[in-house]
Structure 1
């Protein structure tokens, strides 16, 4: 099973040379060779948080060839912003060495920030409510993006032999596309959901494409050794019963490429 290995590094990380003028436009020292990173992805991407004269922003960097499509994320974020709180796109570009995406910081903190990892009894039901909010608020009608099974199978990088006969669609929604816990923001204090990030795979699909991954990520981020049924807690907060068949299918599909 594929697991997330993104992390917040303990020390400043190198700033790619092509990214230095971009970061300088948003408040970084123009000659900064290293900066603290908000997130480092195992695929090779790095996210920097900057506090400049124009406020707090995040800048994502994706080296060429790592498979992180920041142009797709910018397009989807701009579309979804009409319906739910997502990062406002400030700049997107690229060259032969890679691409970048600069967005305005949103209020709140990731659901895997230390204060929420320590309080999963608050974070997990909030995540369930957040995903239901997204699915109810973002309309299928007029959505220009596809995340259906046929679309994903065409892009898969693993063995798809057991995935050619998907279960019937339960409810068609606009899926977030990476509904793992870190990609929902919770309000300081109350823990209520306040926003969504990492939107490069937004598209129309069965809601279980999101639900299967969202529940799978709970064990990665909050642990599953204390006897608590975090998956059940999440699904009750979302407002649906477990569906083992669709859950198993969409987790297997995730494993061959989100």
Structure 2
């Protein structure tokens, strides 16, 4: 993978690299910087070529290419591959700052409004060949596998969640999904939280970390962003910003029961840190 990173550095004119700490995907992320101090590319690295993280990286590569064909503002794929050292994905840097940045108080409402507008535009995108089905009915088998493997209980334990185990909560999710149906479908980000939206200048925001993108009920993205705006991890925003986002997106488009369903669904996909080998 070292050779791949060096090739990307040469191709983009990068002169140094920085490790990026933001994100919960489990991949190592490098930011490549040019001589003027500008980010020119990002490289995601995972330490094996066949495990879950490697599969996630391959899925993100395919989704980036699909979304780019649809005209969605996502990073350009510069290269991807796998070898005995692991897997990697290199993308060109998009302009802008993460929406999770500490925006001045006078700019925060504008940021929220722009995110809502970008969500509406994304969900109105014609899906084209739509190769990635993320409807409730397609996702539930994955949820059951995660519950059976213990992944969900481990993630809940790490997050400090109290209450019954995942196997006891799963019937509630299944019952709500059966009652409400798949919804949508629309082109959806799949992890539509503040760090994954880049805001730049007067143009529309761009989207990163799209490894769970696909056609899905748009309430999944709306629930993700409202939850992100309310999160203690983003104290510059808060409940009032979440309500503003819902207003700007359009209350007439939103079913509160579906928001609750997708909040519950997302809890079954909380990340679990991968065990790292010696020197990892």
TM range (shorter): 0.7 to 0.9
Match of 2:127 among 117, 140, 148: 140
Aligned-residue offset at 1:250: 0.5
Name the CA distance, whole Å, in 2 between partners of 1:210 and 1:254.
Answer: 10
- Partner of residue 38, structure 1: 20
Give the number of equivalent residue pairs.
230
Question: How is 1:15-164 mapped onto 2 (pairs within 5 angstroms)?
Answer: 19-27=1-9, 36-52=18-34, 56-64=40-48, 65=51, 67=53, 69-82=56-69, 83-115=71-103, 119-137=107-125, 139-156=126-143, 157-158=146-147, 159=166, 160-164=170-174
**Structure with greater helix percent:** 2
Root mean square deviation, CA, Å = 2.7
Change (3 A) 1:125 1:154: same
**Alignment of 1:172 onto 2:185:** yes
Aligned-residue offset at 1:251: 0.8
Give the TM-score normalised by structure 2.
0.73
- Partner of residue 193, structure 1: 204
Name the CA distance, whole Å, in 2 between partners of 1:256 and 1:236.
Answer: 27
User: 1:62 touches 1:100 (CA, 8 Å); kept in 2?
Assistant: yes
User: Helix, strand or coil: the match of 1:178?
Assistant: coil
- Partner of residue 235, structure 2: 223
Aligned-residue offset at 1:67: 3.4
- Structure 2, gaps ≥5 residues long: 11-15, 148-165, 271-280
Name the CA distance, whole Å, in 2 between partners of 1:247 and 1:35.
Answer: 40
Name the CA distance, whole Å, in 1 between partners of 2:122 and 2:256.
Answer: 22
Name the CA distance, whole Å, in 2 between partners of 1:104 and 1:58.
Answer: 6
Give the TM-score normalised by structure 1.
0.79
Name the CA distance, whole Å, in 1 between partners of 2:27 and 2:118.
Answer: 26
Name the CA distance, whole Å, in 2 between partners of 1:199 and 1:121.
Answer: 25
Structure 1, residues 169-192: CA drift from partner, whole Å, max 9, x if none? 44320111110111111014x4x5
Change (3 A) 1:211 1:225: closer
Name the CA distance, whole Å, in 1 between partners of 2:40 and 2:228.
Answer: 28
Name the CA distance, whole Å, in 1 between partners of 2:237 and 2:208.
Answer: 28
